[in-house]
């Protein structure tokens, strides 16, 4: 059975439709939408949207040696990580492949790890397997901690109106209260607008959610689902594990290598593979961004689906081998309805400016590889951190 949200009955009352994230017992049921997608997306850009992220998981790390131990395990430099600071990192296996894409959220007496629910059981097992005599312990809090996300230019005001201490910049976290419930808030602007992850005890989740959605007319909050979040995160240049890259990927293939990997730190699991790849110069493929103008691609048949193959310019798709595949795509409201995509592309065709063809329902659409994953960022936006 997939994980279901403690808010499911509330969502049904507001006409939610649902999607499945992952398979098996570690999967989750997530809200697809509550109705008009345009209104949900508009809240991310103009107001505040609240999301139920039942697909996210939480691991608690305790013990006096926890930061030193994690620093020896993960790809990011954690030495000297202070309470209130959060960083992104990879947890690799011995082959240098990504076992988990995670955020390390440093607190005073404990450190929390944010990752998707498909990774949590294995991450607890494998991270704990290397403990010898260190004072460190791992606990999967997912059955007891639920995740809400607030995104939008008024999101911080919404939190402050509820008496919460909200981090004022990316890469910061704070322990606060909402309606008497303890909440850990981690800020990383994954949607090209202020974005706050709220870690809430399962028993308090309904009360916190109700307080947020009823925060007053001046700060009206819109319930929103995965589809709206997906549009905003693609526009922002935020790829996702298990969507745009996964367990078979090397860090150099993700498009976020330098956000997750510190090349001057000491040893960590999988470092030899990462260092060898860096010395050789490039991976066999990497994540890139593509854009198809709406004027030449007006219909739904022009939008490539996940897995749509890419071809070198001039290649015949009937006989040529693909040069890659689309991993995510959407129409961008902030870019005049242009189609924007992430795609894994073979290295030889992945350099910015390279012409490439995308197979859609309307045939091959020619475009070029962009030099950044980010399609849209407001002038006052902070980089996701």
DSSP string, 119-174: THHHHHHHHHTT-SS-S-EEEE-TTTEEEEEEESTTHHHHHHHTT----SSTTEEE
224 and 121 in a common domain? yes
Band of residue 24 on the pLDDT scale cut at 50, 70, 90? low
Would you state the pLDDT for residue 105? 98
What's the domain count of the chain? 2
The domain that holds 340 is classified in CATH as 2.40.30.110
Per-residue pLDDT tens over the stretch 99-157: 999 999 999 999 999 999 999 999 999 999 999 999 999 999 999 999 999 999 999 99
Instruction: Taking each helix axis as running N to C, give the angle between helix 226-236 and helix 37-46, from 0 to 180 degrees, rounded to the nearest 10.
Output: 50
- Among 265, 283, 301, which residue terminates a domain? 283
Cα atoms in the Cβ-side hemisphere of radius 13 Å centred on 224: 30
- Answer whether residue 378 is part of any domain: no
Together in a domain, 10 and 93 = yes
> CB of 116 within 8 A of CB of 264?
no
* 354 touches 370 (CB < 8 A): no
Domain extent, residue 303, equals: 284-373
| Cα gap 159→163, rounded to integer Å | 7
Residue 128 neighbours by CB distance under 10 Å: 14
The predicted pLDDT at position 383 comes to: 63
**Domain match, 275 and 288 both:** no
Looking at residue 78, which CATH number applies to its domain?
Answer: 3.30.1360.120
Same domain, 67 and 196: yes
Q: Looking at the domain assignment, is residue 383 inside a domain?
A: no
pLDDT single digits (tens) 217-262:
667 899 999 999 999 999 999 999 999 999 999 999 999 999 999 9
Pairing of strands 17-21, 309-312: unpaired
Q: Are residues 255 and 120 both part of a single domain?
A: yes
pTM of the model: 0.95
The reply to whether 253 and 356 lie within a common domain is no
Q: Which residue among 253, 283, 313 closes a domain?
A: 283
Assess whether 277 and 291 both reside in one domain: no
Residue 378 has pLDDT above 90, yes or no: no
What is residue 245's DSSP assignment?
Answer: B
CA 355 to centroid of chain Cα atoms: 28
Residues 292 and 181 in one domain: no
Q: How confident is the model at residue 27 (pLDDT cuts 50, 70, 90)?
A: confident
What pLDDT does residue 384 have? 66
Over the stretch 264-288, which tens digit does the pLDDT of each residue have?
Answer: 988 999 999 999 888 877 899 999 9
Q: Which of 283, 316, 345 is the endpoint of a domain? A: 283
Q: For the chain, first and last CA: distance in Å? A: 33
- Asked if 55 and 179 sit in the same domain, the reply is yes
């Amino acid at each position: 059975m997939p994980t279901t949200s403690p808010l499911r009955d509330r969502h049904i009352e507001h006409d939610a439709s649902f999607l499945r994230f992952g398979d098996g017992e570690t999967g989750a049921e997530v809200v697809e939408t509550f109705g008009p997608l345009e209104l949900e997306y508009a809240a991310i850009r103009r107001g505040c949207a609240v999301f139920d992220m039942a697909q996210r998981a939480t691991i608690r790390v305790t013990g006096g040696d926890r930061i030193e131990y994690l620093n020896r395990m993960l790809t990011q430099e954690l030495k000297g990580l202070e309470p209130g600071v959060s960083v992104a990192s990879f947890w690799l296996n011995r082959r240098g492949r990504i076992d988990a894409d995670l955020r390390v959220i440093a607190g005073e007496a404990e450190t929390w790890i944010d990752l998707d629910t498909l990774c949590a059981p294995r991450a607890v097992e494998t991270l704990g397997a290397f403990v010898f005599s260190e004072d460190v312990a791992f606990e999967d809090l997912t059955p007891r901690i639920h995740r809400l996300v607030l995104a939008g230019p008024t999101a911080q005001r919404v939190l402050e109106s509820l008496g919460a201490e909200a981090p004022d910049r990316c890469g910061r976290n704070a322990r606060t209260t909402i309606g008497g419930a303890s909440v850990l808030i981690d800020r990383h602007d994954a949607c090209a607008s202020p974005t706050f992850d709220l870690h809430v005890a399962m028993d308090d989740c309904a009360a916190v959610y109700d307080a947020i959605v009823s925060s007053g007319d001046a700060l009206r909050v819109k319930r929103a689902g995965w589809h709206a979040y997906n549009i905003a995160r693609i526009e922002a240049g935020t790829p996702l594990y298990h969507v745009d890259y996964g367990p078979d990927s090397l860090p150099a293939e993700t498009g976020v290598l330098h956000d997750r990997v510190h090349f001057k730190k000491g040893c960590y699991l999988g470092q030899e593979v990462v260092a060898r790849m860096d010395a050789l110069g490039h991976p066999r493929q990497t994540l890139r961004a593509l854009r198809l103008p709406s004027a030449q691609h007006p219909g739904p048949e022009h939008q490539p689906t996940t897995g749509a193959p890419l071809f070198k310019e001039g290649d015949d798709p009937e006989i040529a081998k693909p040069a890659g595949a689309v991993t995510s795509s959407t129409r961008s409201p902030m870019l005049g309805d242009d189609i924007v995509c992430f795609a894994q592309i073979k290295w030889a065709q992945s350099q910015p400016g390279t012409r490439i063809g995308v197979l859609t329902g309307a045939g091959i659409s020619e475009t070029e590889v962009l030099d950044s994953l980010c399609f849209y960022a407001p002038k006052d936006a902070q980089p996701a951190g």
